[in-house]
Amino acid sequence: MFSIKYITQKIVKFRDERDWKKYHTPKNLAISLIIEIGELFEHFQWKTDDEILQDVKNPEKKEQIADELADVAIYTFLLANELGIDLEDAILRKLEKNKRKYPVELVKGKFMKYTELRENEYRG
């Protein structure tokens, strides 16, 4: 398995070989990320979960969705790189924060936001 750092290096190399860095400002990367998320969402718009799961059984549809997910990841990695954020470290730190916000004994099988969980805990 490749690390996030390794994949980021491959993406940056691809970009730099094409002299595209000048276009990759934080604002432009964030906008591009949102555009790619929109393109991903087009595959789900107006469909039920069952229809989506049926779609991904079709290899061509599955590849289209995978391509959009890859575009989202690529722009995420580029934006993090441009902002000097170690994405691997940020993800691991965020998971630790989420563990504290959402302790298993309070959230298992529930979908409430952590602020609601604490309120319910105090009401008992």
pLDDT score recorded for residue 1: 83
pLDDT band of residue 111 (cuts 50, 70, 90) is confident
Q: Which CATH class is domain 1-85?
A: mainly alpha
Give 107-120 as a DSSP string: HTT----HHHHHHH
* Residue 80: both structure tokens together: 């993090």
pLDDT band of residue 119 (cuts 50, 70, 90) is low
> What is the Cα–Cα distance from 94 to 75, expressed in whole angstroms?
19
Instruction: Write the pLDDT tens digit of every residue in 12-63.
Output: 999 999 999 999 999 999 999 999 999 999 999 999 999 999 999 999 999 9
Q: Can you give the residue ranges of every domain in the chain?
A: 1-85, 89-124
Percent of the chain at pLDDT exceeding 70: 94
pLDDT score recorded for residue 64: 98
The arithmetic mean of pLDDT across residues 104-118, rounded, is: 83
> What is the Cα–Cα distance from 117 to 9, expressed in whole angstroms?
40
Q: Are 103 and 61 in contact (CB under 8 A)?
A: no
Residue 124, pLDDT above cutoff 90: no
> What is the Cα–Cα distance from 2 to 8, expressed in whole angstroms?
10
Handedness of CA 44, 49, 50, 56 (dihedral sign): positive
Average per-residue pLDDT in the chain?
94
